[in-house]
Amino acid sequence: MRTKSVDLGNLMQRTLKNPISCSGVGLHSGAHIKLSLHPADINTGIVFECLHAASGHGFIPVTHDCVVDRQLCTKIGNSHGASIATVEHLMAALRGMQIDNVLVRVDGPEIPAMDGSSSPFVFLIECAGIIEQNAPRKVIKIHETIRYKDEERSAVLSPAEGFFIDFEIHFPTKQIAHQHFGIQITEETFKYEISRARTFGFLQDVEYLRSIGLAQGGSLENAIVISNGKVMNDGGLRYKDEFVRHKVLDSVGDLYMAGYQIEGHLWAYKAGHEVNSALLQELFANPDSWSLEEAVERDDKVAATSVPVTKLVGVA
């Protein structure tokens, strides 16, 4: 039996029903930050407003060329010097919950870390409520395969009906080692299979990161911390493969920096913010490889089939 697809969610644009706010500590800055989300008109897209004096005032519309730094997070900025860091977990929640138009106001240098995942932002969106708008959603439909590869990492974006991610990671510690996760991103799968996966790091790296101004607010409350091959957090992991699921979460957020939902299949090997951003740059440098189209109903497709790491390396 064939059913109508729900992988692009509602076919109409969506925004929040009510404004809502939260506050928390910045993962890298250590600053106490207030964040608020506000409804926005059709075709507004995702727009950040920077209210932090040291980071410059101004609006930053989300587009593929607004990314200004990718060191351990995704940082956006505008031509007037305004910038906001660590936007990827919030962006992932907005994409996962099918929010097209929203104003994000931030009074600090970055988005608060909350618990290191997208789950608190999903909860925030659900509490605000979601409303359908009187305009069709626009999506970036991939027509030709786009590739990015450096010495060890690679990412491939290929045509597909829906949004799929297959991700491979390798770390030289038995706690992580080799993990692969493949999934079709829908509102339901994002909320229950991806959004709760937390960012992670190694205790031996903390001193160096803090010496270069990063991880000032990092703690067991907002990250998985690994020491001597063991997870230090009370309660352990939320998923047995939480590490690779968080990499999928980051990719959902980073690819939403395109400014529209992408209809395609991401194959990623050891990728991170730098690779995700570079892949988007390759995409927009090849305008014949994609088109901006209105979302339409179509027959559903089965979830992506897992592939071995050797194949991922080969296609990249």
Contacts of residue 128, Cβ cutoff 8 Å, sequence gap at least 6: 16, 17, 18, 19, 20, 37
Taking alpha carbons only, the member of 230, 253, 240, 116 closest to residue 173 is 230
Query: Rounded CA gap, 96 and 201, in Å?
Result: 24
Clarify whether 273 is annotated catalytic.
Answer: yes
**Exposed, middle or buried: residue 100 (CB in 10 Å: 0-12, 13-18, 19+)?**
buried
Candidates 10, 48, 262, 18; CA nearest to 125 is 18
DSSP 158-217: E--SSEEEEEEEE-SSTTTSEEEEEEE--HHHIIIIITTPPPEEEHHHHHHHHHTT--TT
**How many residues make up the chain in this entry?**
316
Residue 84 near residue 112 (C-beta atoms within 8 A): no
Active-site entry in 28, 89, 246, 273:
273
Angle, CA of 62, 63 and 64, to the nearest 5°: 130
Q: Copy the structure tokens of residue 2.
A: 């064939």
Measured distance CA(232)–CA(228) in Å, rounded: 10
117: which 2 tokens? Answer: 């995942």
DSSP state of 110: B
Give me the residue label for tokens 């600090």: 108
DSSP state of 118: S
From the number of C-beta atoms within 10 Å of its C-beta (0-12, 13-18, 19+), residue 228 rates as exposed
The residues that are catalytic are 273
